[in-house]
Structure 1
Amino acid sequence: DLMLVGDSVDFAVLSVGGFLGLASKLVAISFDELRIDGDRVLLPDATREELERLPEFEYR
C-alpha cells in the first residue's frame, strides 16, 4: 500500500520477514528509499535484518 500526504506519496507499507506469508509483519518505508525495477520493488540500501528490526506498522 502507498500512504499519501497531501498530493505526494510519502511511504510504502511492505510485508517483511516470515516465510510464505507466515510470521511476517508490515513496516512503513520512506518512498524515497525505494527503487522500482519493472515489476519489482527494491530497497538497495537495506538488509533483511535491518528491515526485520523496523517497528511494526498498524493501520488505524
Structure 2
Amino acid sequence: MTYAILSVGGLLGLGTHLIAVPFASLQVVDKQMRLPGATRESLSALPEFRYASP
C-alpha cells in the first residue's frame, strides 16, 4: 500500500508532526488534496510518522 506523509498541527511550522495516511483515501477537489471525513483533531490524534534512520 502507498502512503502520503502529511504535516499536521502547529502554527507556522512550529509544533507540527508527520502522519501517514493511505494515498487512496485522498481526493482531488478543485485542484486541492482533501481527506474526506478528517478533522484537525482526528489527524492530530494519529501516531507520529518517523522516517527510518540510516
* TM-score when normalising by structure 2: 0.85
Q: 4+ residue runs of structure 1 moved beyond 4 angstroms?
A: none
Is the counterpart of residue 58 in structure 1 residue 50 in structure 2? yes
Pairs aligned (count): 51
Q: How far has the Cα of 1:36 moved from its partner?
A: 1.8
Unmatched 5+ stretches in structure 1: none
* Structure holding more strand per residue: 1
CA RMSD of aligned residues (A): 1.1
Which letter maps to 1:50?
A: S
Match in the other structure for 1:34 = 26
Secondary structure at the residue paired with 2:21? strand
Which letter maps to 2:17?
A: K
Is the counterpart of residue 48 in structure 1 residue 9 in structure 2? no
CA deviations on 1:10-56 (whole Å, 9 max, x unpaired) are 10000000001110000001111111231x21111111100000000
Structure with higher RCO (Cα < 8 A, 6+ apart)? 2
